[in-house]
Amino acid sequence: MSDKSYLNWPFLEPKHRELAETLDAWAAENIDSNPHPGPDVDDECKELVQKLAEGGWLNYAVALRSEGQKLDVRSLCLIRETLGRYSGLADFAFAMQGLGSGSISLFGSDALQQEYLSAVREGKKIAAFALTEPDAGSDVAAMSTTAEDAGDHYIVNGEKTFISNGGIADYYVLFARTGDAGAKGISAMILDADTEGLEIAERIQVCAPHPLARLKMTNCKIPKSKLLGNEGEGFKISMATLDVFRSTVGAASLGFARRALDEAIARTTSRELFGAPMADLQLVQTQLAEMALDIDASALLIYRAAWTKDCVAERVTREAAMAKLYATEASQKAIDTAVQLFGGLGVTVGMPVEELYREVRALRIYEGASEVQKLIIAKQTLMNEGH
C-alpha cells in the first residue's frame, strides 16, 4: 500500500484529497494493474479513454471558458500519479486527452472550445499534440512545417514525428511556420484527422507500446477559424501548454516509482535470503530508504510546482522544469533498484517492475528531455539573479 501521508501536505486542499481517494478506489475496480502487452494497443487506448470519460475523470483534462473552468494542475498531477501507479497506458490515455486539448483550453476561441473540448471530455474525440519534427525536437524554433496563407485558410506542408495518439486521434493541435524563421514565426492551429492530404506515414514502435506515429501533411487546407490565439503566437502557446503539463509528467513518473517501491517491499519482505527475509539485510534497507527518499523529494517538487501554478504565478517554467527533471530521473533510479532487488524475475516479461522499467524511460525525453530541463533551470536562475 503506497504511502498517502503526502495528501495532508499544505499544497493540497480537501477537494484534492477527496479526488485522490475517489480515483484510487475507482482505479482499483476499473484499471487492470497487471502487465499485459495486448495485441492491439490502439483499441486498448480507445477503451481506456471511454472508461475515463464514463468515470468523469476527463472533466479534469479540459477547461471550458464558457463554464468558468480553469485547468487545475494539482488535480492533473494527482490523477496522473494515481493512474501511473496502476497502469502506464491508462496514464497515457488520460495525459494525451489533456495535452492534446490543453492549448485549446488555454487559447481556443469559445467556438473551438465548444466544438472540441466537450467532445474530448465525453470521450467522443481523441486528442493529440503535434509539435516535434524529424529535425526539430528540443529546438522547437527550428521547425520547418509551413502553413501558407491562402485567404480564408492555410495550406500546410511538412512532417511531424513521435506524435502520441498518432493514427487514432480525431484531431491534432498542430504547430507550423506562418512567418519568418525563429520562434516568432510559429502559429498553432487545429488539424482534423480527416483532412485531405494528411497521411499517417509511419507507425512507430517503442519499448513501452503506445500509439505513436509520423505524420505527413501535403497541401492540407486548414480554415483560419481553426487558429489558436493569434498568428505568430505558436511558440508561446506551446510553452504555456507545457508549463501546465510538464509537472504532470513528473507526477506520472512518481506513480511509477510508488508502484516500484510497493513491489520491492512486497518482494523483499516475502523472500528469504541467507535464512532471513531480504528486507532484514542492511544493504537492502539502504536501497529501500533511497527509493522512499527520492519519492518524497519528487512529490515535494511536483506539488510545489502545481500549487504555484494554481495559486501564485501564471508561469512556472523553473518550478515545472525542476519537478519534471528530478521526478523522472529519480523514478528511473527507483525502478532500476526494484528490478535489481527482484533478480532474474525483474527482467522477466510480465512482471510489473519489468513493465515499469520500459514505461518510465520515455518520460525522461518527452515534453523536454532532462538535459533541456537543466538548461531551462539554469536560464531561469540566472534571470532571477539579474543576469
What residues are annotated to the active site?
367
Per DSSP, helices labelled H in the chain are 14-30, 41-54, 73-86, 88-107, 110-112, 118-121, 234-270, 282-311, 317-342, 352-361, 370-384
Identify whether the C-beta of residue 198 lies closer than 8 Å to the C-beta of residue 217.
yes
Sign of the four-CA dihedral 246, 247, 250, 256? negative
Sign of the four-CA dihedral 223, 228, 230, 236? negative
Identify whether the C-beta of residue 384 lies closer than 8 Å to the C-beta of residue 117.
no
Nearest Cα neighbor of 80 from 23, 14, 162, 21 is: 23
Determine the residue type at 12: L
Angle at 128 between CA 89 and CA 50, to 5 degrees: 50
Residue 14 burial (10 A CB sphere; 0-12, 13-18, 19+): exposed
